[in-house]
Chain A
Amino acid sequence: MATYTESKQSKNPIVRFLTMNTSREVGGRELPLWRQLVLQVLCIAIAAEVLFPIMYIITLSFSSRETRPSSLELFPKELSLTAYKQVIDRPTANPVTFIELLRNSFLLSVGVGLSSLMVAVLAAYAFSRFKFKLRQVLMVLVFVPLLIPAIGLSTPLYLLMNSFRIADCGGAIAISPFASCAQGLGRVMFNLRDSLWGVGIAMISTALPFAVWNLKGYLDTIPRELEEAAAIDGADTNQIFFQIVLPLALPQLAVTFFLGFIGHWQEFALPWLFLTQPESYTLSMTLYNMTGQYANSVPWNRFAAMAVIVALPVAITYIALQKQIVSGLTSGSVKG
């Protein structure tokens, strides 16, 4: 156990990066002052490069001016929350409230995360702990989708989701693709493609293989002594899974969930392709609508406030969980 935790820590780049021994290192050579100054100038220049867009957007978001910036400002002159208030009151010209956008984004990212996790942990357990005939073949089948760019599946998913419709044909209800109205389209009451359900289901197609991969990598690192002991005591596979493996894997389940959350929160391609009703839009779609040639009427301070709002949940998740997230990623990749 001791060696296991040790090796895990050393594989964690962010933690090592932030907690490295920074006092005068072994050897104790003092840096000559002129070199120290040159390096300090370099470091400050790099820090300025990193902070440039961040300070720019934060300054802009705290500005109350609706006109576009005419000169460069990197430090807030005022701390006005007008832009945030306006964005939250009325995010777009569409009839949709901020709360609805927030709810849609959360429903999608949390729903996709949880449902893929539940299915994935079972598969990861099978791949990690059992030797069976088709293991290699099935593993390849699960992991090949990881190699396809997610956009590659968007066309068939669009077409397939679009064929699940519930239509009111003037009295009778027809559920495509099993039945359709005798004439014409009828009044479409529900189109799976045009709903958060459809988007969510489509998103699972990339979320699931990733979750299996990530969890399997972690399960491989859990020592099996406990399970073997339980088996000797007469526990069957299901008992071992639910009472020993699942509790042990809980932290990693959380990490996989939050990694997925970071990705799903930014999901744009599928919702932007599938959804047409403003009330099912997500925050990232709204942010896209606030930039570019069609957004000339959007004041930049509002855009900046929206950018900060979209970025915050991801940034907070990262900072709160950076240790677990990075070690989670590496434990997945090491054992693949």
Chain B
Amino acid sequence: MASTSMIDPVKRRSDFRKVVTPYLYLVPAFLVMSVITFYPLIYQVIVSFTDFQTKDLLRGLASENLNQVGVQNYVDILTGGLPVQNFEFFRVLTYNLWWAITNVALHVPAGIVIAVLLNTPGLWLKRIYRSLYILPIVVPPLVVATVWRNIFDEQYGAMNQFLTNVGMLFGSIDPVRIRWLEDFTPPIPWLLPNGPLTLAYYAMMIANFWLGWPFMTLVATGALQSIPKDLYEAASIDGASGYQQFRNITVPLLRPAMIPAAIYGFTLSFNLFNFVYFMTGGGPARSTEILVTFAYDLVRNLRLYGAAAAFSVIVFFVAMVIFLITNRLTKATENIVE
């Protein structure tokens, strides 16, 4: 009895190993992340309180020219005090939210309708349509954006040429010359009171629609397959019309799958850097700028490193707030389902 109550050195060593092993497996990851993630995050906050500029690049934080400016960068960003034309933080934030919401609001319904269409029993050539409709998922967004940028070219772009062809059918002979990506006058001025929704916004909506709905169709098709067929049979015996079946069976049963997909789409569109940067670069006059493209412009072109750091800290908080809200939404919908 005495020997078992005494701490056996071998057992103790194995206990120690048991406690330490998981941490040993985590050491490489945390070493790497400390250097390239956590330290930069802290460094970012420090830089955000300085007026770090190109002249300080040589010596970094040790530079003699570097001034501590307190929260000046943050104040400048929020009140429009940055030496940057056409930038107003809350206009860009509103536009960014609007851009993400309108995208999702188009992609999700279109995705559902097309999924339902493809799910029609007895439809011919289904397999061919399905493999075609998946193509936009396969092409890298950055290529998609450059291609659409050329399509919307004023003189040589395919969109104006297409519209010219359509116009010819109706007897018009003038070539269409819409300045999709350059025109600054908003076609529907009242749509977003806080900022101009230029033609470039609509052009980007068209291009991103092409990119976005197939994913939603994919998710909706998966969810449609799990709806029991007898629900529809029972409904049609009771005399429910096709629309009533869609409204009262399909839509409610698709909801649990579509809400996470919509949230995923929202976050994706909210931070859609490559697409926006390649298609308009935020122009014309920063009217299609989103937060991430502006953050990038601050460091890449304007080289205001202090302000860029402060802006990235703000973007970080915006991302956190959005995550907390969407996380809440996902949790809430999970509860409804259960």
Contact = CB atoms under 8 A, between A and B. Distances in A.
A204 B36 contact: yes
Interface string B284-298: 000000011001101
A123 B57 contact: no
Interface in A222-270: 237, 241, 262, 265-266, 268-269
Contacts of A158: 299, 305
B129 A147 contact: no
A81 interface: no
Given A27-B229, A154-B296, A17 B40 contact: no
Contacts of B146: 287-288, 290-291, 303, 307
Most chain B beta carbons < 10 A, residue from A18, A134, A154, A300: A154
B58 interface: yes
From A40, A54, A152, A284, residue with most partner B Cβ within 10 Å? A152
Interface residues of A, number: 103
B167 to A, nearest CB: 12
A17 B210 contact: no
Nearest to B327: A147
Nearest to A185: B58
B139 interface: yes
Nearest to A47: B132
B39 A160 contact: yes
A164 B21 CA distance: 34
Contact of B225 (A16, A40, A273, A290): A16
Contact of B117 (A14, A43, A69, A177): A43
Given A122-B29, A159-B47, A149 B218 contact: no
Interface in A69-87: 69-72
B208 to A, nearest CB: 12
A315 B138 contact: yes
Interface string B9-24: 0000000000101110
- If over half of B's interface residues share one DSSP class (helix, strand or loop), that class is named, otherwise mixed; here it is helix
B315 interface: yes
A51 B33 CA distance: 43
Contacts of B308: 155
Instruction: Label chain A's interface by main secondary structure.
Output: helix
Contacts of A142: 29, 33
Contacts of B150: 291, 300, 303
B281 interface: yes
B170 interface: no
Given A16-B221, A155-B309, A291-B278, 14 more contacts: A27-B229, A51-B132, A72-B162, A119-B29, A132-B23, A149-B315, A150-B273, A152-B316, A154-B299, A160-B43, A162-B57, A208-B33, A288-B146, A311-B140
8 contacts: A13-B221, A50-B210, A151-B315, A153-B41, A153-B312, A155-B298, A266-B141, A291-B146
